[in-house]
Amino acid sequence: MKKRRFEQRLDDYRNGKSKKKSPQRRLRALGIIGIVAFVVYCCVASLVTQEEVYAAPSRPYSSILDTREKRQADGVRQFREGASWGGQWRASSEPGGVYMEGKPLVARRRPAYIQGEQHARKQGYHVTTDSISVDPIRGNCSAYGLKPPQDYPRDYLLTDIVQNWPPDSILVPPRHFMSLCRFDYSDPVQIKQAQAFRKAEVPFIVENNAILDKVAKDWSTPGFLERRLGTKKYKAEKSDDNHFMYYGGSRGHLRGWRPPTNDVRMTYNEWLSRALIARNTSILEEHYYFRVSPPDTTPRDIPVFAKEDPVFMPYPRLSKGVHCRFGYAGIIAEAHFDGSRNIVVELGGPPSSTGHANSGRRRYVMAKPGQCENTYLLPKGHPSGRHSAIDWSRPVNLQKFPKWSQMRGFEVILEPGDALYIPSFWLHYIVSLGTNFQCNARSGHSEVSHEDLKGCGF
């Protein structure tokens, strides 16, 4: 019936019997209006979400590490100044190279593991599989009992830390400035210590937990995460270089401010293809920080977060879920603090047989909340407030940031299966040493260190 009525109106229009506009013209007009509306909607949606279409890498994988420094003066963000630590460190290892400020490179090498790896660990050495030598960097934590010392953890000048190991470098040097206690979860005495340290709101590491070791083994098995995450596109952050800084809220009065990263959607396999060529990617090229968050992750994925536990989850009702960040070689999360208690678990990475070198490892450079004045935190109201305004991977202008020379901290190397407790307000700077899977769970806030931040406006 509707078709006959339309044909009748069309015949009347052609025979001059109708004064109304052609039905065909009306349909064309409606079609044009619909197309324009769709285009406007797409433009508005892209502005609101700021997400881009992911483009797969076109560069073929090469097993040779590209160590050329490509950071140029006109290729950095506005808040960065000077040459990178990484570039000068790499140049210093070449024949005739020099170290910082023209000083000769001083070798700090000692024979490694003279009496074996286990003996070195007992003596307080931090042992890594590729270390060429070791230095003693922590005391015997068993002597602390259930009360950490007042100066725990011991900290060092940050200038010494970054000169010894430039943040842009993923090559692990022989010496580390690590002073955190490592507690063995299989030892009841050490677990009591860990519980006491957590109540005292100081950081520590837990290792040798059977549940975390199993999760790390499963996640590091090729094909496991591919099946678990499927072909769904997850949110990832894209940066124009290897540095990532969180931002949120309103831009306020910051004229000319631009977000340091953009959001994209990509599958796990697409991100993994980027991670595979990371060692041949300049620090000035695009980097991607992969995220998997609730409801795509649950405590069932990491059972230590599924029930009340005095070390991992003492306040399960205050938990905000399990959030995962996957990084690859060279990715840096800028220095910042979080207001909540945070337990971070390192869950491995693809095996080296698949082309991913140094997998499953992250470096944390940390500092006590009382160091906030020396850190020059961006203030409240800034989109990246509570982050350091200083790029730790580059020599710092001491005329602009004079207190930086007094900045103190320490570092941590997380291995697969390790869990790091970060209390509220402790500063941390994160470097991915290889392709790695990290997840964290937060449980409430602590006011123990808040007083130290009030002088910095927080």
Question: What pLDDT sits at residue 215?
Answer: 94
Kindly report which listed range (89-98, 146-155, 271-280) carries the lowest average pLDDT score.
Answer: 89-98
pTM for this model (two decimals): 0.73
Angle (CA) 48-50-55 rounded to 5° is 145
364 near 412, Cβ under 8 Å? yes
Cα(345)–Cα(421) distance, rounded to whole angstroms? 9
* 9 — pLDDT class (breaks 50, 70, 90): low
Which of 77-91, 277-291, 298-312 has the largest mean confidence?
Answer: 298-312
| Model pLDDT, residue 43 | 59
Phi-psi region of 43 (alpha: psi -120 to 50; beta: other; left: phi over 0): alpha
What single string gives the DSSP state of each residue in 190-202? HHHHHHHHHHTT-
Summarised one tens digit per residue, pLDDT across range 63-120 is 333 333 323 223 333 322 233 332 222 222 222 222 223 333 333 333 344 466 676 6
Rounded to the nearest 10 degrees, how much is the dihedral formed by the CA atoms of 439, 166, 171, 418? -30
Res 268: pLDDT:
96
Query: Helix, strand or coil for residue 236?
Result: strand
Count CB-CB contacts under 10 A for residue 341: 22
- CB atoms < 10 A from the CB of 29, how many? 11
Q: Which residue has the higher pLDDT, 121 or 112?
A: 121
The pLDDT of residue 333 is above 80: yes
Residues, the chain, total? 458
Condensed to tens digits (0 to 9), the pLDDT of residues 185-238 reads 999 999 999 999 999 999 999 999 999 999 999 999 999 999 999 999 999 999
**What Å distances lie between residue 105 and 96, 177, 305, CA to CA?**
10, 19, 46
